[in-house]
Protein backbone atom coordinates (compact mmCIF):
# COMPACT_ATOMS: atom_id res chain seq x y z
CA UNK A 1 0.00 0.00 0.00
CA UNK A 2 1.19 3.50 -0.73
CA UNK A 3 2.73 5.56 2.02
CA UNK A 4 0.68 8.55 0.85
CA UNK A 5 -1.68 9.61 3.67
CA UNK A 6 -4.60 10.14 1.27
CA UNK A 7 -4.59 6.55 0.05
CA UNK A 8 -3.68 4.87 3.33
CA UNK A 9 -6.50 2.96 4.98
CA UNK A 10 -7.18 3.32 8.66
CA UNK A 11 -9.85 2.17 11.06
CA UNK A 12 -13.02 4.19 11.42
CA UNK A 13 -13.44 6.38 14.46
CA UNK A 14 -16.89 7.34 15.82
CA UNK A 15 -15.91 10.96 15.17
CA UNK A 16 -15.75 10.16 11.45
CA UNK A 17 -19.56 10.32 11.54
CA UNK A 18 -19.39 14.08 12.07
CA UNK A 19 -16.15 14.97 10.27
CA UNK A 20 -15.92 16.35 6.77
CA UNK A 21 -14.57 13.85 4.24
CA UNK A 22 -12.59 16.58 2.56
CA UNK A 23 -10.43 18.00 5.34
CA UNK A 24 -11.40 16.17 8.54
CA UNK A 25 -12.97 19.26 10.14
CA UNK A 26 -16.15 18.93 12.16
CA UNK A 27 -19.19 19.13 9.88
CA UNK A 28 -22.19 21.00 11.25
CA UNK A 29 -24.47 19.42 8.63
CA UNK A 30 -23.45 15.88 9.59
CA UNK A 31 -23.75 16.70 13.30
CA UNK A 32 -27.26 18.12 12.89
CA UNK A 33 -28.36 15.13 10.78
CA UNK A 34 -26.96 12.67 13.34
CA UNK A 35 -28.65 14.47 16.26
CA UNK A 36 -31.95 14.70 14.33
CA UNK A 37 -31.89 10.95 13.56
CA UNK A 38 -31.17 10.19 17.21
CA UNK A 39 -33.99 12.43 18.43
CA UNK A 40 -36.50 11.03 15.93
CA UNK A 41 -35.50 7.48 16.88
CA UNK A 42 -35.97 8.23 20.58
CA UNK A 43 -39.32 9.90 19.85
CA UNK A 44 -40.55 6.92 17.85
CA UNK A 45 -39.48 4.46 20.55
CA UNK A 46 -41.16 6.65 23.18
CA UNK A 47 -44.41 6.75 21.17
CA UNK A 48 -44.35 2.97 20.74
CA UNK A 49 -43.23 1.92 24.23
CA UNK A 50 -45.86 -0.27 25.85
CA UNK A 51 -48.27 0.01 22.92
CA UNK A 52 -49.12 -2.42 20.15
CA UNK A 53 -46.78 -2.31 17.18
CA UNK A 54 -47.83 0.42 14.73
CA UNK A 55 -46.64 -0.56 11.26
CA UNK A 56 -47.68 2.68 9.60
CA UNK A 57 -45.62 4.83 11.95
CA UNK A 58 -42.51 2.72 11.48
CA UNK A 59 -42.97 2.62 7.70
CA UNK A 60 -43.06 6.41 7.62
CA UNK A 61 -39.92 6.53 9.76
CA UNK A 62 -38.05 3.96 7.66
CA UNK A 63 -39.20 5.58 4.42
CA UNK A 64 -37.94 9.00 5.52
CA UNK A 65 -34.64 7.51 6.69
CA UNK A 66 -34.07 5.57 3.48
CA UNK A 67 -35.10 8.52 1.32
CA UNK A 68 -32.66 10.81 3.12
CA UNK A 69 -29.81 8.30 2.85
CA UNK A 70 -30.39 7.80 -0.89
CA UNK A 71 -30.73 11.54 -1.48
CA UNK A 72 -27.58 12.29 0.52
CA UNK A 73 -25.48 9.68 -1.29
CA UNK A 74 -26.80 10.77 -4.69
CA UNK A 75 -26.04 14.42 -3.96
CA UNK A 76 -22.54 13.48 -2.77
CA UNK A 77 -21.91 11.45 -5.94
CA UNK A 78 -23.12 14.28 -8.19
CA UNK A 79 -20.95 16.79 -6.34
CA UNK A 80 -17.90 14.50 -6.54
CA UNK A 81 -18.49 13.96 -10.26
CA UNK A 82 -18.82 17.69 -10.91
CA UNK A 83 -15.68 18.48 -8.90
CA UNK A 84 -13.77 15.73 -10.69
CA UNK A 85 -14.96 17.04 -14.06
CA UNK A 86 -13.96 20.61 -13.17
CA UNK A 87 -10.55 19.42 -11.98
CA UNK A 88 -10.05 17.44 -15.19
CA UNK A 89 -11.00 20.51 -17.24
CA UNK A 90 -8.43 22.59 -15.36
CA UNK A 91 -5.67 20.03 -15.96
CA UNK A 92 -6.48 19.41 -19.63
CA UNK A 93 -4.09 21.12 -22.02
CA UNK A 94 -5.63 24.01 -23.93
CA UNK A 95 -7.13 23.05 -27.22
CA UNK A 96 -5.08 24.18 -30.18
CA UNK A 97 -6.55 24.76 -33.57
CA UNK A 98 -4.79 23.05 -36.41
CA UNK A 99 -5.39 24.09 -39.91
CA UNK A 100 -5.69 21.45 -42.50
CA UNK A 101 -4.31 22.65 -45.77
CA UNK A 102 -6.00 21.72 -49.00
CA UNK A 103 -3.69 20.56 -51.75
Tens-place pLDDT, residues 21-80:
777 788 788 888 888 888 988 988 888 888 888 888 888 888 988 898 888 888 888 888
Res 4: pLDDT? 47
Instruction: Measure Cα distances from 51 to 48, 61, 93, 98 in Å.
Output: 5, 17, 66, 77
- Examine residue 71 and state whether it is found in any structural domain, yes or no: yes
Q: What is the pLDDT of residue 99?
A: 54
Residue 21 lies in domain: 14-87
Confidence of residue 2 (pLDDT cuts 50, 70, 90): very low
- 24 lies in a domain? yes
The per-residue b/e assignment along 11-22, b for 16 or more CB within 10 angstroms, e otherwise, is eeeeeeebeeee
Q: What is the mean pLDDT of residues 10-21?
A: 75
100 within a domain of the structure (yes/no): no
Q: How many whole angstroms separate alpha carbon 52 and alpha carbon 29?
A: 35
Residue 30: inside a domain: yes
Number of folded domains that form the chain = 1
Amino acid sequence: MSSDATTERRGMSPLDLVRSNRDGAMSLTKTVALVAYALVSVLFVHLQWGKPFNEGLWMIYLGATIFHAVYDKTAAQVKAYQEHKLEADRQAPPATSTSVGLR
